[in-house]
Amino acid sequence: MIQAVRRHDLAIRYIINTHGHFDHVGGNRQAVAEFGAPLLIHQADAPMLDRVADVGRMYGIQSENSPPADGFLVEGMEIEFGVYRMKVLHTPGHTPGGCCLYLAQENKVISGDTLFADSIGRHRSPRRLHEQLLESIRSKLFTLPDDVAVYPAMGPKPP
């Protein structure tokens, strides 16, 4: 990621975590050090940031804890960068603070792990969280335009 940013001479305005699982936040420390951009995550997932190394070890993966968040994603928040604007959609269920990022002018949504390619975000949580995930999808994602392109964290990008 750092090489791609350098190659394209990009300026990073924010480091945004769609949720707090270790496979999504494990590079935060390096990204913050490299880019100096503020780190954003939903407040409900912020406690996960200082448990990255422990969770990674459970999967046999060496990881380092994330620095703390500089700010929090909230439902309806708009994040601007360049000519783009993303709206935060809080979609709990995969994690309590799971979020999607909707770019209306581009007709795209970055779904994090709320949606996978051809599936929904899986979890090892109680059934009530599964129901919460389904409700998030119904109330937040199904209300988007029918032709919105979905960019899930897991799986291929849309055609």
Task: Say if residue 31 is in the same domain as residue 46.
Answer: yes
- The pLDDT, as a whole number, for residue 157 is 64
pLDDT digits (tens, 9 = 90+) for 52-62: 888 888 889 88
Distance from C-alpha of 100 to C-alpha of 150, rounded to nearest angstrom: 10
Task: Say if residue 2 is in the same domain as residue 46.
Answer: yes
pLDDT digits (tens, 9 = 90+) for 2-21: 899 999 999 999 999 999 98
Distance from C-alpha of 101 to C-alpha of 89, rounded to nearest angstrom: 6
Task: Say if residue 78 is in the same domain as residue 65.
Answer: no
- Nearest CA among 18, 17, 28, 19 for reference residue 53: 28
Distance from C-alpha of 139 to C-alpha of 10, rounded to nearest angstrom: 34
pLDDT digits (tens, 9 = 90+) for 20-44: 988 888 899 999 999 999 999 999 9
* CATH for 86: 3.60.15.10
Collapsing DSSP to helix, strand or coil, 15 comes out as strand
Last residue of a domain, one of 73, 93, 111: 73
Task: Give the pTM.
Answer: 0.90
Task: Say if residue 31 is in the same domain as residue 60.
Answer: yes
- The pLDDT, as a whole number, for residue 117 is 76
Count of structural domains within the chain: 2
Task: Say if residue 80 is in the same domain as residue 144.
Answer: yes
Distance from C-alpha of 116 to C-alpha of 119, rounded to nearest angstrom: 5
Task: Say if residue 1 is in the same domain as residue 47.
Answer: yes
Collapsing DSSP to helix, strand or coil, 115 comes out as strand
Last residue of a domain, one of 73, 97, 117: 73
Last residue of a domain, one of 18, 53, 73: 73
Angle subtended at Cα 89 by Cα 12 and Cα 34, rounded to the nearest 5 degrees: 20
* Burial category of 52 from C-beta neighbours within 10 Å (exposed 0-12, middle 13-18, buried 19 and up): buried
Residue 96 has pLDDT above 80, yes or no: yes
